[in-house]
Chains A and B, each alone.
Chain A
Amino acid sequence: MIRLEEPRKFRPLVNQAHQVAAEIFRPISRKYDRAEHAYPKELDMLAALLDGLNAGNSQAGAGVGGVSRSADGDAEGVRNGSNMNIVLAFTELCWGDVGLALSLPRQGLGNAAIVAVANEEQKQRFAGCWAGMAITEPGAGSDSAAIKTTATRDGDDYVINGEKIYITAGGRCDHVVVWASLDLKVGRPAIKSFVVPKGTPGMDLVRLDHKMGIRASDTATIRFSDCRVPAANLLGSPEIDTSKGFGGVMQTFDNTRPLVAAMAVGVSRAALERSRELLAEAGIETGYSTDRWRQTAAAAELTALEAEWEAARLLTLRAAWMADNGQPNSLQASMAKAKAGRIGTRITLRCAELCGALGYGEDELLEKWARDSKILDIFEGTQQIQLLIVARRVLGLTSSQLK
Chain B
Amino acid sequence: MELVLKGFGEVVKTVTFRVRRYDPEKKEMPKYMEYKVPVQRGMTVLDGVLYIKEHLDPSLAARYSCRMGICGSCAMIINGKERLACQTQILELNKDLIKVDPLGNYDTVKDLVPDLNKLFKNHESVKPYIVREEAEPYGEYIQLPEEREKYALFTECIMCGACLSACPTMATDDLYLGPQALAQAYRYIADSRDAGFNERLNLLDSKHGVWRCHFAGACSEVCPKGVDPALAIQLLRGVLSKNVFIKYKQNPAKLGPERASIKEVL
Q: Do A and B bind each other?
A: no
Residues of A within 8 A of B (CB): none
